[in-house]
A = this chain, B = another copy of it.
Amino acid sequence: MKIVKILEQPVRLKSNISNALVNFSTHTVSVVAIVTDKIINGKPATGLAFNSIGRFDQSGILRNRMIPRLLSAKPGLLINPETERLCPAKVLKCAMQNEKPGGHGDRAHAASALEMAVWDLNAKLEDEPAAITIARHFGRSLAIPKISVYAAGGYYHEGQPARALQDELKGYQDSGFTMFKMKIGGAPMDQDLKRIESALEIGGAGENLAVDANGRFTLEQAIAYGQAMTPYALRWYEEPGDPLDYHLNRQLADAYEGPLATGENLFSRQDVKNLLMYAGMRRNQDIFQMDPGLSYGITEYATMITEMEKNGYDRKFAYPHGGQLMGFHIVAGLGLGGCEVYPGVFQPMGGFQDGAVIENGMATIPDAPGFGFERKSNLAVPFAELCG
């Protein structure tokens, strides 16, 4: 089989929200389609994906660097000879041809979209959900049929009073979620603590609520929040400091007894190795949130999980960032701890397929082939436009 064309288009998200550092009203994501010469149901078999959420579209890198490399690859270079299908690792390697080491930022997000589209394609060729293709590829007997999910929200909406947070969480609860995540660090600490207490009135126990500072705090601020939040016994305390400040994380881990979570802004295996080596992350307690949709795709992400396990960390403590369908299938396929979901924000990318049922905080993977973007009606639109 061969690639006939590769399409890319930036999509503007509908999100007038802010975390402690960033307003998302201008945020974009690249949707991509790898169109092949195989035919499924009378149409060219096509792999779809996007570069997760949070780091902008990568049109320039995709169109000027990576897509031309793939389209000019020698015949067979991208194919797994055993399966006669496109090989995600070979596609990634070709997309990264002649790129220097280090600097794992935007290009990692760009490459992710391409690599992930190969998984969607291969699952569609098998007429199975991507979770099953992923599980088989990595030698896992079965994808998990139900995965643990939590609703990520609690942003600082413009002009919205803090009390509205309760309505938001109640809405998630009514949809079947039992665990929630909210933002902190975008308001003075006393206000944030009140917001947390409001949220706990809905969520119940602290183990149902995580908080996310989005990398804003100095060590002193991180420790002050940690001390103030200790009585709540929260599920986790996410990204207190700069994501690359391993020393801060280690010092905070010494000072804060509860679980910490980080990793969504680390995009390569080597960065994760450094996190494991230097940041004081505690086994069977702290949470790893690397996002395969931002990190060169599943090929590289799987090596991050291997690094975790080599160092005695359990993959059940991996909860990928992203909150979209790709993460859902990856959690199920790789047997990870659980999955973030954005049920209300970052549309049309955030959340699962239409009519997805969440029961007691668990979700069943959709039976559509591939990642199942076609079953999420608002997300199907930009993909349909992309493919013409």
Chain A residues within 8 Å of B, Cβ to Cβ: 10, 21-24, 26-28, 54-61, 63-65, 98-109, 214-215, 242-247, 265-268, 270-271, 273-274, 277-278, 294
Contact = CB atoms under 8 A, between A and B. Distances in A.
Contacts of A107: 105-106
Nearest to A265: B102
A98 B266 contact: no
Given A105-B105, A274-B274, A100 B22 contact: yes
Contacts of A98: 22-24, 26-27
A100 B265 contact: yes
A102 B243 contact: yes
**Nearest 6 pairs of A and B residues by beta carbon:** A60-B60, A105-B105, A102-B265, A103-B105, A102-B243, A106-B106
Contacts of A22: 98-100
B55 A103 contact: yes
B267 A245 contact: no
Given A60-B59, A101-B21, A271 B244 contact: yes
Contacts of A109: 103
A64 to B, nearest CB: 7
Contact of A265 (B23, B55, B58, B103): B103
Most B CB within 10 A of own CB, among A23, A267, A274: A274
Contacts of A278: 246, 274, 277-278
Contacts of A100: 21-22, 54-55, 214-215, 265
Contacts of A105: 102-108, 267
A103 B102 contact: no
14 contacts: A23-B98, A24-B98, A26-B98, A28-B64, A55-B100, A56-B99, A100-B265, A101-B214, A103-B267, A103-B294, A105-B106, A105-B108, A244-B268, A274-B278
A242 B60 contact: no
A21 B28 CA distance: 32
B214 A266 contact: no
A274 to B, nearest CB: 7
A222 B98 CA distance: 22
